[in-house]
Amino acid sequence: MFTQIPKKSTPPRIRKPTIIIFSSLSIILILILIFSTNPCSQTTQILFPNFTPNYFKNTYNILYPNQETTPTNISHIVFSIASIVKTWHARKHYVESWWRPNETRGFLFLDQAPNRHLPWPPTSPRVLVSNEAMGQKDISRAIRIARGIKETFKMENTSVRWYVMADDDTVFFLENLVEVLKKYDHNGYYYVGMNSESVISNNLFSFEMGFGGAGIAFSYPLASILVKNLDVCLKRYRGSYGSDQILHSCMADLGVSLTHAKGFHQVIFVLDVTLLFYY
Ligand SMILES: *[C@@H]1O[C@H](CO)[C@@H](O)[C@H](O)[C@H]1NC(C)=O
Ligand SMILES: *[C@@H]1O[C@H](CO)[C@@H](O)[C@H](O)[C@H]1NC(C)=O
Ligand SMILES: *[C@@H]1O[C@H](CO)[C@@H](O)[C@H](O)[C@H]1NC(C)=O
């Protein structure tokens, strides 16, 4: 009789490919730990205190060699300010409080020729009449203001990183604005602003909308896409109440959400919501 000899259970063999994969992964992990610039991984600093891995910091330059990387300053920002002739005499003091002639770039858009305000003082921004600029009459205020970004883009588009839209009673602290915008990559698609400080307004419009009274910033690439699509967008949302609401809708269509920047403040002093509709 033959008795079946039970098979010896051989210990599981580690196959060659597994070893290769495992050791490659370990090497990669070690390299990451050594060269990572992430503050959580300080191995580099411990192993080579004088080593600064510049090539990692400059990956951006390698990917986009033609992009500027100098710090953003006031010269990179172009403003588009909306006003009307009727109230300009009172509102100009808000604008002139922060506007720096020959330094700040941008335009003031009025609904009519400012005949009664002539001669135009050099302390005010350059003025454009929106209706004339667009060859249209009797368009809604919201659409007129929203189109300001297109007019502005057409006139000023060299060395621009940010387009900032504002009302005639918006007051900017320019250094602060530059500091805030500096934090974002102006080569990316950024829609920067803040919702209202009034919950009622946010409920009426959106918590995700940049309110125009506080100023809204669009990065250059985003503005260039926005102006290309603006006419279609204005047609689609022509029933919207405000220019900021229209622009928010255009942003939503482009898939860009608001980057909330807490330095932008839109204030409504009186809680009566109807006041909102007079601004
Ligand atoms: C702003 O930065 C640019 C470089 O991007 C530089 O040429 C210019 O002189 C700077 N302007 C001011 C006002 O600092
Ligand atoms: C702006 O610059 C021009 C010359 O380029 C000068 O004549 C004018 O006085 C300046 N304006 C102000 C308000 O500094
Ligand atoms: C950029 O600005 C110039 C005028 O400075 C204008 O001729 C040109 O059409 C503008 N480009 C776009 C895409 O609007």
Report pLDDT for 265: 74
Q: Residue of the nearest CA to atom 1 in ligand 2?
A: 102
231 neighbors 143 (Cβ within 8 angstroms): no
Residues 81-121: pLDDT tens digits? Answer: 988 888 888 888 888 989 999 999 999 988 888 888 788 88
Q: Which of 87-96, 140-149, 176-185, 262-271 shows the lowest mean pLDDT across its residues?
A: 262-271
The ligand minimizing its distance to the Cα of 223 is 3
What average pLDDT is seen over the chain? 76
Q: Measuring from atom 10 of ligand 3, which residue has the nearest CA?
A: 154
CA of 133 to the centre of ligand 2 (A): 25
Q: Give the atom of ligand 2 at the shortest distance from the alpha carbon of 122.
A: 13
Please tell me which residue, 197 or 279, carries the higher pLDDT value: 197
SS3 state of residue 27: helix
Beta bridge partners of 216: 165
Q: 8-46 pLDDT, tens per residue? A: 656 667 778 788 888 888 887 776 656 665 544 455 455
Write down the pLDDT at residue 78.
96
Residue 71: strand, helix, or coil: coil
Contact between residue 220 and residue 161 where contact means Cβ atoms under 8 Å apart: yes
Highest mean pLDDT among 26-30, 62-66, 252-256: 252-256
Distance of CA 72 from the midpoint of ligand 1 (Å): 8
Strands 191-193 and 258-260: what pairing?
parallel
- Look at residues 214, 220, 240, 215 and name the one whose alpha carbon lies nearest to residue 144: 240
What is the per-residue pLDDT for 15?
Answer: 78
Q: What percent of the chain has pLDDT over 90?
A: 14
Query: What pLDDT score was predicted for residue 79?
Result: 94
Q: Pick the range with the lowest mean pLDDT from 5-9, 10-14, 262-266.
A: 5-9
pLDDT on residue 39:
47
Strand, coil or helix: what is 184?
coil
pLDDT at residue 9, rounded to an integer? 59
For residue 150, the ligand closest to its alpha carbon is 3
And the tokens for 31? 């390299």
102 lines ligand 2 (CB under 6 A): yes
Closest-CA residue, ligand 3 atom 11, reads 154
| Residue owning the nearest CA to atom 9 of ligand 3 | 154
| pLDDT tens profile 204-241 | 778 778 877 778 999 999 999 998 888 888 888 877 77
- Residue 102 burial (C-beta neighbours within 10 Å; 0-12, 13-18, 19+): exposed
Going from the Cα of 129 to the center of ligand 3, the distance in angstroms, rounded, reads: 18
